[in-house]
Amino acid sequence: MRITVFRMMQVRRRNTLFPLFLALAALLSPVASGQTNHVFYASQSPGGNQPSNLLRIDFNGSQATVTDLGQVVVQSYPPATALEGLAESPDGTLRGLMSLNGSNPYSVVRFDNVPPVPQATAACVGSIEGYSLNTSSLAPWTVPGQFVTPASGFMYIFTDLPICSFPYGIPPPPDPLGGSIRGLARFPSGGNSLFAVTDDKVWSLQYNPGTGQFSVSPSTPLLDFGDGTFGPMFVESLTAVCGDSLYGVNNAKQPPELVRISPTGQSITGVFPLTGSATVTRVGALSYSGGGDCNTNGVPDTCDLESGTAQDCNENGLLDSCDISQGSAADCNANGIPDTCDIDSGVAQDCNDNGQPDTCDIAQGAPDANGNGIPDECEKQASVTILPGCGLNPAGSLVATGVPAIGTQMVLSVHNPLGTQNVGSAPFLWISLKPALPIGSCGLPLLGTGMAGGAGELLISLKPQHLVLMLTGPLWAGVPAPIVVSIPSNPALVGLELTAQAVLVDSIGPVTIGLTQGAKLCIGL
């Protein structure tokens, strides 16, 4: 008699609760509550040729907190320098426009260690020779790595090269903007449009590639701060945050205020005094810290994250697509998500904890005999364990050879090591779904079933609903009598646990029935 048993194997994954954790984390995070968090860098500029300090402004949507990062020190130059412009390069480094010796030429510097290092050390990248800048500013331009700055009589565009170059100069907008531009800003998707601030007004500037000139939009100044709504205004810096707002700093107030301006430049949407441990009297330059532009789409990485066009699932400050393209994160299943995030979120499984989804392990050659998408090494391996019970059945009475792997055979041999039964006794083997008793390692004592002549110990359940198989083998000849057990080649059996026990029957001797030890069979690969 053979009864085929099927059981759907339930695999418990270690990441089962992770999606719930993510959902709770999202509900508790500042982003979920609608809070805005922006980082700006600014210069504390007393004016003239006085040294400048680099500032960090953390803005959470309602409060602007300032941290003084220290005085700007440029390698091989004296400390008395003025930082007149700031802008972020696509590689995420901060660039500055400085008059290193208190006079021309102006130079572009690169800040090599901004926070968390509390210093503001910069290296000179190159000089802008021979031009006198009445007022100065720095803003990203239309091509990644380009910046634009105003000068006396010209707007200059230069490329972020090891030695900064000025390939061309173009006439500035007509009066009244002539020499009074104090800040420039451009939205990432702004095309050929710039915003400029002149003390108390914001202007929209359009660049015409055909004529090579900037012009003021046909409209009058877009924002007149002199309406008294927020008191006196004197803005000397301007920067753009993604596509949301323009920001400047109003130096007419003490302490100065971070000013938020609508994307069109037509209205003030908030003023926020600069608070914190740093004492700030004048901000001469301001730049939004967008985290660089690692995917070179012309949009700061933080803006990509805010808009949802990119993700940073491992929160390492680098877009997932850049993690993958730069080789700092693997994406073996090519779904655009780092493998570690697939695993942590439960989208993919990693049963062997090697940092790679199981599907990729299998695609790369890891065995998966039953085709269930789980590497064989993670599934239950075939094993057999002898069950001694509580000592009523003699050791060595059931001997296992091989393991119950699907599609193979193993042998359970029946023996009476005490020699209390006659040669020619008949062996029988039972295989059951359940042990005799559900708790503990002991079986059920039965008088007249022990090989020693007393009680034996029944270790399996002989209930019809539990009994799977009964087999017999050659008569006992004083040595273990082998009984062959064939395991079906059925992947559904992997993980099934069975209990086996044999009995040796002597119809003429003093010990008629002798129970053996048991065996726990774990069907596997």
**pLDDT (tens digit per residue) in 466-489:** 999 999 999 999 999 999 999 998
Give residue 298's pLDDT band: very low, low, confident or very high (50, 70, 90): confident
What's the rounded mean pLDDT across residues 307-324?
Answer: 88
Report d(CA 14, CA 441) in Å as an integer: 30
Q: Beta strand pairing status for 383-387 and 53-59?
A: unpaired
Q: Which among 41, 109, 117 is positioned nearest to 74, based on CA atoms?
A: 109
What's the rounded mean pLDDT across residues 215-230?
Answer: 54
What's the rounded mean pLDDT across residues 70-86?
Answer: 73
Give residue 79's pLDDT band: very low, low, confident or very high (50, 70, 90): low
Model pLDDT for residues 423-458, shown as the tens digit of each residue: 999 999 999 998 988 777 889 999 999 999 899 999
Report d(CA 253, CA 484) in Å as an integer: 94
Give residue 204's pLDDT band: very low, low, confident or very high (50, 70, 90): confident
pLDDT exceeds cutoff 70 at 368? yes
Instruction: Indicate the burial class of 51 (C-beta count within 10 angstroms; 0-12, 13-18, 19 or more).
Output: middle
Note whether 192 and 209 are within 8 A (CB).
yes
pLDDT exceeds cutoff 50 at 341? yes
**212 versus 402: which is more confidently predicted?**
402
Q: Tell me which range, 19-23, 29-33, 188-192, 307-311, is most confidently predicted by mean pLDDT.
A: 307-311
Average pLDDT along the chain? 77
**154 versus 196: which is more confidently predicted?**
196
pLDDT exceeds cutoff 80 at 115? no
**408 versus 202: which is more confidently predicted?**
408
The pLDDT, as a whole number, for residue 480 is 96
**274 versus 308: which is more confidently predicted?**
274
DSSP code per residue over 31-97? GGGT---EEEEEEE--STT---EEEEEEE-SS-EEEEEEEEEEETTS-S--EEEEEEE-TTS-EEEE
The pLDDT, as a whole number, for residue 76 is 63
**334 versus 212: which is more confidently predicted?**
334
